[in-house]
Structure 1
């Protein structure tokens, strides 16, 4: 009985950690959408901010990858 409860807790933890991957996708969409809104307001400054766009996307994606790795560690932990 205790093993079943422990496995249930493990799967709940994996599900919560996997939420981070989905939320990272929302973060990337937010970064790209705000960049597009700013670029449409001021097209002359859009070229200078492209590097900032890619840095923001990279940070958001890195958080998603980290949460995915945590989910895998929780799933296959002993």
Structure 2
């Protein structure tokens, strides 16, 4: 009779739970973590100073910074929807 092992199922469950937790907290930061989150968000740009300025401003208002160095703004509706007077995105 074949022996039933729970190990593969436990491993799969851990992977699924990790993914769900990451999705649930994606982008959300505490106020004191804004500089670090924005440092990473702006790490790939050649315009670091303005990127860091606006990212930190947006982070302090929204308490959210999208994951990655570009895009993914749908993770943070406040960050995504804040526009300049001209209607362009305010947050990098």
TM-score of the two chains, using structure 1 as the length reference = 0.36
Superposition TM-score, scaled by structure 2 size: 0.32
Higher relative contact order (CA 8 A, sep 6+): 1
